[in-house]
Homo-oligomer: A and B are copies of this chain.
Amino acid sequence: MQNNDDDIDELLVSRGLRLTRQRRQLAGLLFRDGDRHVTAEMLAREAKRNGIRVSLATVYNTLHQFTRAGLLRRINVDSARTWFDTNTTVHHHFFNTSNLELTDIPQDRVSVDVLPAPPDGTAIDHVDVVVRVTPR
């Protein structure tokens, strides 16, 4: 994925998000090159490195707003922190438990068959597969 600034502005507006400086700059980091996995802490550090002035609270707010707007997907791999993925399509992950590196697995490279019915009164929302890996 490749997006220029205009595409990114349009993306935000199309999801009903106002164009504030912080949102445009964070969206630039996230969506310019596509396919990224970040935590709030990582994104805040990266923003600072790039001369973007934004508070940590705003990074959290923005990640959640983008998630609600369907631009990001939350991933639960690690009970210590929340990861966000710019790839919102159905797919799965490798998670390196030593260096906390997350890698996508294209959906069509994993097949999952869940035979049992979900618990009474519930319906399946989605299936997450995390393949935990460690250095060899």
* A interface with B by C-beta (< 8 Å): 74, 76-82, 94, 96-97, 101, 103, 105-106, 109-116, 118-119, 121-136
Contacts and interface: CB of A to CB of B under 8 A. Distances in A.
Name the prevailing secondary structure of the A interface residues: strand
Contact of A125 (B82, B101, B109, B133): B133
Count this chain's copies in the assembly: 2
Nearest to A98: B122
Contacts of A114: 105, 109-110, 129, 131
B129 A134 contact: no
B125 A115 contact: no
Given A121-B136, A128-B130, A128-B132, 5 more contacts: A79-B80, A94-B122, A96-B119, A119-B133, A124-B132
